[in-house]
Structure 1
């Protein structure tokens, strides 16, 4: 049986190697996952605390708080809940829950986002509005508990 003085350095080396390997193999962020499916990361505001992506494309994104953002050019107010769920595949987010838009004085759930060429189509039931995907290159910032008024979508 090897002496403790010979096995301790080997054990410490293996533990250090294991820690280094686990740190270097970080999972991609939720924003990187979105980009992998053809979406700009800016369709999701900053502040994601965790996410889960299933083999069938089902996903869950968790945020620390609800977030409201005003889309300056259109005047729409968007609300992102603490929990956002749906299904994702290349160029398509379906069965969305947790994202809504205020039209006039009523909140409607955005149930689908589709990328067609360089445009993103946001669906509320059968109705949609499209915006250039280049307007969503950066993730907007939103403080918990307050409304943020930012120029999230412009006519560029």
Structure 2
């Protein structure tokens, strides 16, 4: 007797498991949908999210396809998002942020916290903050293009 007929149930089982795993993966909410579940507008993340990971304690990692810059409030502040953004999230609060910065005059400062309160978002840079209406973040901004790193590393 051939082994081939016995392998049919095993192959069928493997195909069913693969199909189930793929259907679960496709039902996972996007990073933008997860932001909305925590009380944030989807537009605080630019277009181009490749993947994200959210763990039980609220820690997260978002991977973008490239570094990204865009303006908030028309000709206002210039925001920069790195390819990798990390932090912790809970309802109405993004804290311990890394990978997001704002240009003030000629200097870039890291945004370490974003708080959602009423109809406004408060972006914190150390002890300072600026507020913007959530309506400014209804749509995901398009990046101005990937930036070229200006960081210089010298080997001694």
- TM-score under structure 1 length normalisation: 0.82
CA, structure 1 residues 103+143, in 2 after alignment: closer, same or farther (shift >3 Å)? closer
Once the two structures are overlaid, the 10-residue window that deviates more, 98-107 or 49-58, is 49-58
Q: Which moved more, 1:5-14 or 1:38-47?
A: 5-14
Task: Tell me the equivalent position of 1:82.
Answer: 83
Q: CA deviation at 1:21?
A: 0.6
Question: How many residues end up aligned between the 2 structures?
Answer: 146
Distance 2:8 2:96 in 1: 53
* Greater RCO structure (CA 8 Å; 6+ sep): 1
Unaligned runs of 5+ in 2: 149-156
In angstroms, what is the RMSD of aligned CA positions? 2.1
Aligned partners of 2:73 and 2:136 also within 8 Å? no
**Where does residue 47 of structure 1 map in the other structure?**
48
Residue 107 of structure 1 corresponds to which residue in structure 2? 108
2:15 matched residue in structure 1? 16
Match of 1:116 in 2: 117
Aligned residue number for residue 154 of structure 2: none
What is the Cα deviation at residue 54 of structure 1?
Answer: 2.1
Normalised by the length of structure 2, the TM-score is 0.82
Return the alpha-carbon distance in structure 2 between the equivalents of residues 75 and 132 of structure 1.
Answer: 13
| Distance in 2 (alpha carbons) for counterparts of 1:80 and 1:112 | 14
Q: Give me the whole-angstrom Cα distance separating, in 2, the residues matched to 1:109 and 1:146.
A: 17
Unaligned runs of 5+ in 1: 148-156
